[in-house]
Amino acid sequence: METMHEIAREAINQVPPECRVLPEHTEVIARNADALLSLTPEVINGFYETVYGHAPTAAIFHEGERPMREESLTNWWERTVRGPIDENYWAWMSMVGLIHVIRRVTNPMMLSMTDFVAGYVSNNAHRLNLDPDEQRRLVDALRRLAGMTGSVITWGYDHAVSAALFEVAGMPEALLARLRDAEIKTALVDAREEVGNG
């Protein structure tokens, strides 16, 4: 498998600059770090109330695990808000993706919860006493951060799955990809019949 830095770079290169976290976005997060950190307990609590409140996500956790998970998410939030959001940060996010694969946290679970965090900030930014332009910039930066976190994590997830299949099947990844595409083409014939044009 490629390194975490490589996986993160590949994912980021696929994201159009219009949607990326650029220096102006890391700067707006950094200069509002104290305001964002004031939301820490409610972001963490809202996150875990949400995942524990839904059977498929609640089923991921072992009994008694919640305090440890709250601690790791608090660590992520503080490290994200304090920065730096640089190459090492995105490599860390690739690894976090792999850590979740082992626990069977799926991409829909990850993507919806990165969106939850950005949405929480968006819904509560009016409480941070910022001027309207700065509030808008901060909400935009968090939305981009969530989007890119999702991109890096899901790309890492797909890599982990195909690299593992490669190891198990002993087949080159390119051949596996061709076989996969052939299967999907067949499945698409049935899919078109099932849903037509929507």
Of 78 and 181, the one with the shorter C-beta distance to ligand HEM is: 78
Of 20 and 69, the one with the shorter C-beta distance to ligand HEM is: 69
Of 32 and 154, the one with the shorter C-beta distance to ligand HEM is: 154
Quote the least distance from Cβ 133 to ligand HEM, whole Å: 27
Of 35 and 51, the one with the shorter C-beta distance to ligand HEM is: 51
Pairwise CA distance, residues 35 & 43, whole Å: 13
Counting every residue written for the chain, the total comes to: 198
Interface with ligand HEM (CB under 6 A) = 51, 57, 60-61, 69, 72-73, 76, 96, 99-100, 103, 105, 109-110, 113-114, 117
Pairwise CA distance, residues 157 & 183, whole Å: 20
Quote the least distance from Cβ 79 to ligand HEM, whole Å: 8
Quote the least distance from Cβ 190 to ligand HEM, whole Å: 31
Cα distances (angstroms) measured from residue 65 to each of 58, 69, 104, 154, 175: 11, 6, 15, 24, 40
Of 61 and 166, the one with the shorter C-beta distance to ligand HEM is: 61
- Residues 170-190, buried b or exposed e (16+ Cβ, 10 A)? eeeeeeeeeeeeeeeeeeeee
Our CA angle for 11, 183, 195, nearest 5°, is: 90
Of 120 and 166, the one with the shorter C-beta distance to ligand HEM is: 120
Pairwise CA distance, residues 77 & 88, whole Å: 15
Query: Nearest residue by C-beta to ligand HEM?
Result: 72
Quote the least distance from Cβ 175 to ligand HEM, whole Å: 32
Quote the least distance from Cβ 182 to ligand HEM, whole Å: 33
State the Cα torsion 184-154-167-180 to the nearest 10°: 10
Quote the least distance from Cβ 100 to ligand HEM, whole Å: 6
CB atoms within 10 A of CB 29: 21
